[in-house]
Structure 1
Amino acid sequence: MTTESRALTFPALNSATAAAHLRAELALEVDPDDLVRDLTAGTQLGYVVVETRAPEAFALARIPGAINLPYRDLTPESVSQLDRDLVYVCYCESIHCNAATKGALKLAELGFKVKRLSGGIRAWQAAGYAVDRDTPDLSAASTSPPRCAC
């Protein structure tokens, strides 16, 4: 009895095609570790971190230095003052939320360079990285990452 591998149902790409795909994937995403290293070293040049969820989520917990551009509010008028030479690194709640994808798509359609933060703020907090808040952390409930709120 021969059993075919489920992992190879779709054959692997040749190395050049795989490298091109993976390079493109990395051109669209950054991980929390690379981002925090930039923020810690003060080498956050050429990009802005963008929370793309609602202002309520931004108030509860955000990556230090992030700006809030809710994806639902992105219009040519609302982004007219943004620097088109910068890359906008969008994030949302987690892999279970697509506000970062929606925000990055809208920004790209409006002519901006974009990336997404892998895993969102949940991955950021799971790695133990600090967040800024508008209100003090007064309860155990507030230590959990905010829900999607998009």
Structure 2
Amino acid sequence: MDNAVTRVPAAPADDAVRHFEAQFAYETDCWDTHAALATPEPGFVLLDVRSPALYARGHVPGAVSLPHGKIIASRMAAWPAGTLFVTYCAGPHCNGAARGAAKLARLGYPVKLMAGGITGWVDEGFALVT
């Protein structure tokens, strides 16, 4: 059987484990974010990196509005060095979360991206704050 899926063999299992587990260093999902936010100390600051207007229309409870274009050293000084940030944007069709994450990483902060963004959050059945 020859098709686009089978034409290139899958990676060896050991390689696949390293590849897929490495992704967890860079991103988390909506379910894990939701569960962590339900605890007294989630261990991160959740940043909504969309525009203030989109944030006002609906955002993840507990998220701080900080558009990715406004992520600069002077603004980030409000948080201690080493603070873990989790960024999100509109969803898989948006690269704002990655833009924000890259800026935070350039400033030396540990950062992860919340895969799925607002779209994923709503798809999981979680409520937004307006």
What is the TM-score normalised by the length of structure 2?
Answer: 0.91
Unaligned runs of 5+ in 2: none
Deviation at 1:44, TM superposition (A): 4.2
AA at the equivalent of 1:22? F
What secondary structure is seen at the aligned counterpart in 2 of 1:100? helix
The count of aligned residue pairs is 130
Detail structure 1 runs of 4+ shifted over 4 Å in the superposition.
none
Bigger Rg, which one? 1
Identity, in percent, stands at 32
What secondary structure is seen at the aligned counterpart in 1 of 2:6? coil
1:66-100 Cα shifts (integer Å, max 9, x gaps): 11111111111121222222211100001001100
Among 98, 118, 121, which residue is 2:115 paired with?
118
1:47 maps to which residue?
A: 44
Deviation at 1:43, TM superposition (A): 5.1
1:2-51 Cα shifts (integer Å, max 9, x gaps): x42321222211222211111111221111111112223x1543211110
CA contact (8 A) 1:63 1:131 kept: yes
Matched, 1:16 2:11: no
What secondary structure is seen at the aligned counterpart in 2 of 1:17? helix
2:62 maps to which residue?
A: 65
Compute the RMSD of aligned alpha carbons: 1.4
Unaligned runs of 5+ in 1: 134-150
